[in-house]
């Protein structure tokens, strides 16, 4: 049984610490600019997490989607223990079963884990990146990105790896990929803060790649597939702010589902 484990929280945590120490600096002024212009041009999400006037930035402090996903991972592992791993046999990504039509395993395997350490690392990483994405994209996009990335990661694993696999890190890589697309797309508005976050994400991904290359128990194909899925989702459906003829920021997703 191979595991999908991610240490993406390393880069995010260190970057978060730098941001806290740079309040009032150039990066913070750039972020204040985009917040101010968003408020003036397209409205701001209200406190209950619902959007108004096409504003995807909910700034929802309740982080409902992230917490729901965290509880789902905990529930999945608890089910594994309570059923004495029968749930693992029934819902893990096993190529033979997927080939026989049990496609649900491409999603359910993301909610199973190979042990407490595996679960803890992925929950820690999801807590870090999930809350960030939820503040920027909104809770609906968190659910969608997590699900699509879990599927794309497991599809890649199904195609490229013969081993059974469990774990949420393909989906977590997808969330990180979505965040990277957002940062890269808005570097001109977010300033140096975007570059720092991109560097932190790149460092974390490199650490995971090196670790995965040296461990036979890590499903790197699931990581890669999840990353691609999250990037594609954010590119098509994620925030895409452009300036109008008056210089105001307007959100223009490539595929607008609002």
- In the structure, what pLDDT confidence band is assigned to residue 25 with cuts at 50, 70 and 90? very low
Predicted confidence at residue 176, as pLDDT, reads: 94
The sign one gets for the Cα dihedral 170, 175, 177, 178 is positive
- In the structure, what pLDDT confidence band is assigned to residue 42 with cuts at 50, 70 and 90? very low
Predicted confidence at residue 5, as pLDDT, reads: 59
Percent of the chain with pLDDT over 90: 56
Please tell me the least confidently modeled range out of 1-10, 73-82, 170-179.
1-10
- In the structure, what pLDDT confidence band is assigned to residue 204 with cuts at 50, 70 and 90? confident
Burial of 25 (0-12, 13-18, 19+ CB in 10 A): middle
- Condensed to tens digits (0 to 9), the pLDDT of residues 111-154 reads 999 999 999 999 999 999 999 899 989 899 999 999 999 999 99
Maximum Cα interatomic distance, the chain, rounded to a whole number of Å: 62
Name 243's bridge partners.
249
Residue 70 CB neighbour total at 10 angstroms: 19
For the entire predicted model, the pTM comes to: 0.79
Question: Between 49 and 104, whose confidence is greater?
Answer: 104
- In the structure, what pLDDT confidence band is assigned to residue 44 with cuts at 50, 70 and 90? very low
Q: Annotated active-site positions, please?
A: 169, 223
- In the structure, what pLDDT confidence band is assigned to residue 1 with cuts at 50, 70 and 90? low
Question: Between 53 and 169, whose confidence is greater?
Answer: 169
Most confident of 25-39, 51-65, 76-90, 216-230: 76-90
Q: Could you give all domains of the chain from N- to C-terminal order, each with its CATH number?
A: 2-251 (1.20.1540.10)
| Mean pLDDT over the full length of the chain | 81
Question: Between 40 and 213, whose confidence is greater?
Answer: 213
Burial of 157 (0-12, 13-18, 19+ CB in 10 A): buried
List the one residue out of 45, 111, 116 whose CA is nearest residue 72: 111
- In the structure, what pLDDT confidence band is assigned to residue 8 with cuts at 50, 70 and 90? low
Residues 6+ apart with CB under 8 A from 49: 58, 60, 62, 64, 138, 139
Burial of 86 (0-12, 13-18, 19+ CB in 10 A): exposed
């Amino acid at each position: 049984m191979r595991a999908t484990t991610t240490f993406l929280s390393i880069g995010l945590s260190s970057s978060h610490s730098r941001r806290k120490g740079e309040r009032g600096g150039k990066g913070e002024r750039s972020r204040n600019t985009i917040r101010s212009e968003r408020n003036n041009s397209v409205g701001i999400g209200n406190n209950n997490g619902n959007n108004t006037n096409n504003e995807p930035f909910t700034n929802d402090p309740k982080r409902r989607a992230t917490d729901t996903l965290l509880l789902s991972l905990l529930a999945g592992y608890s089910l594994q223990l309570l059923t004495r791993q029968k749930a693992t046999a029934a819902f893990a990504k096993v190529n033979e079963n997927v080939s026989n039509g049990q496609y649900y395993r491409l999603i359910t395997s993301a909610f199973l884990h190979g042990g407490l350490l595996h679960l803890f690392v992925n929950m820690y990483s999801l807590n870090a990146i999930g809350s960030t994405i939820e503040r920027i994209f909104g809770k609906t996009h968190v659910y969608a990105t997590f699900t699509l990335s879990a599927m794309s990661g497991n599809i890649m694993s199904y195609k490229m790896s013969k081993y059974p696999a469990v774990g949420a890190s393909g989906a977590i890589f997808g969330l990180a990929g979505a965040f990277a697309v957002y940062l890269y797309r808005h570097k001109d508005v977010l300033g140096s803060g975007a570059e720092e976050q991109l560097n932190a994400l790149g460092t974390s991904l490199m650490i995971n790649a090196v670790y995965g290359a040296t461990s036979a128990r890590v499903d790197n194909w699931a990581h890669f597939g999840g990353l691609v899925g999250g990037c594609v989702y954010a590119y098509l459906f994620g925030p895409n702010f452009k300036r109008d003829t008056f210089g105001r920021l307007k959100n223009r997703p490539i595929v607008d589902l609002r």
